[in-house]
Amino acid sequence: MAVSMPDMSWLIVAIVGVLSYSTQGADYSDNDARVLILGGGAAGLQAARTLHDAGIDDFIIIEAANRLGGRVADTQFADMTVELGPTWALPEVSRVVDLVRDLNLSHRASDYDSLLFRNESGVDVTEEAFNQYDAIDPAKEKLGMLRDKMRANGNIPDMSQRSALRVGGWIPETDVQRAVEWFEFDITYGDSPETTSTKQTEFIGEEYWMTDAGGLKQIFGAVAGFLQEPAYSNHTRLGKTVASIDYTNDISIIVTTQDGTRYIGEYILVTFSLGVLQHNLVQFIPPLPEWKDVEIKKFQMVAYTLVY
């Protein structure tokens, strides 16, 4: 069973080595560094900030795109800023939401109580749909209880959300019931309950739709704005796609990009997306151990389509 992961993520996949080293900010003109941060998305930028705050500034960020920020990007459309990647800030208790509030970025809470259900004939069946929440809400509570037991006891096997909902007494049989379930689960987790993990289920709560003209990318100014300072101008390598990671010896790690450039570090931090890792776009030398490969391959990132 795959584990679906809604957007989110500031996922740091792997770190090699343990850091106990402090340096002052400097301008590194070569391709050697104490730490190589692979990927300049949210995870990579947060990693750079964490190292910087700890006094560790001997690092290089290697990013395939010609900009930092990863999936967080926007464009101008009809005199408006349109997000091309993540559009919501969530969950409510998170660093992302804190930054949105601290920076006073324009946003609005998603109102999931403002719903309208119509059947195939166009008839308003909203009242009938709302009545189904009396049945699905207890099933969701049961799912949450099963999840908590699984997390507390590692010997209890995972199950799909579909199985957990059945245990909770929810078995949709009508189109209205299926529509309610789709709204509560498919749209939230980006996949059907048949393929989504109970153990990894999170009830997100309130979420915020970004409407700020400057875009969600503004949060990176607060996280890693120091990279724009002259002293850190050579700490990023843009337009460099990593081809291989050679960690054969115990002293240094060699990262080679598709254009043949080699970077040498004592430690590497891999922040690539699951898609990059699952499609074997980067060669690990030697190959990753099977247990780690299994952990990477068992997850799947879901996709949302924005229609403007």
Query: What confidence score (pLDDT) does residue 33 get?
Result: 95
Query: What confidence score (pLDDT) does residue 93 get?
Result: 59
The answer for residues whose C-beta is within 8 angstroms of residue 13's C-beta and 6 or more apart is 270, 271, 272, 277, 296
Question: CB–CB of 151/121 below 8 Å?
Answer: no
Helix, strand, or coil here: 302? coil
The Cα 236–Cα 152 span in angstroms is: 42
The whole-model pTM stands at: 0.80
Q: Given its phi and psi angles, is residue 227 left (phi above 0), alpha (psi -120 to 50 degrees) or beta?
A: alpha
Query: What confidence score (pLDDT) does residue 15 get?
Result: 38
Question: CB–CB of 215/74 below 8 Å?
Answer: yes
The answer for residues whose C-beta is within 8 angstroms of residue 2's C-beta and 6 or more apart is 191, 195, 196, 197, 298, 299, 300
User: pLDDT, tens digit, for every residue of 122-145?
Assistant: 999 999 999 999 999 999 999 999
The Cα 83–Cα 210 span in angstroms is: 8
Task: List per-residue pLDDT tens for the chain, 308 residues long.
Answer: 444 443 333 333 443 333 333 334 444 458 999 999 999 999 999 999 999 999 999 999 999 999 999 988 888 888 888 888 888 887 665 788 888 888 888 888 888 888 899 999 999 999 999 999 999 999 999 999 999 999 999 999 999 999 999 999 999 999 999 999 999 999 888 899 999 999 999 887 778 888 888 888 888 888 889 999 999 988 999 999 999 999 999 899 999 999 999 999 999 999 999 889 999 999 999 999 999 999 999 888 888 777 77
Reported as type and span, the H/E element at residue 290 is helix 290-297
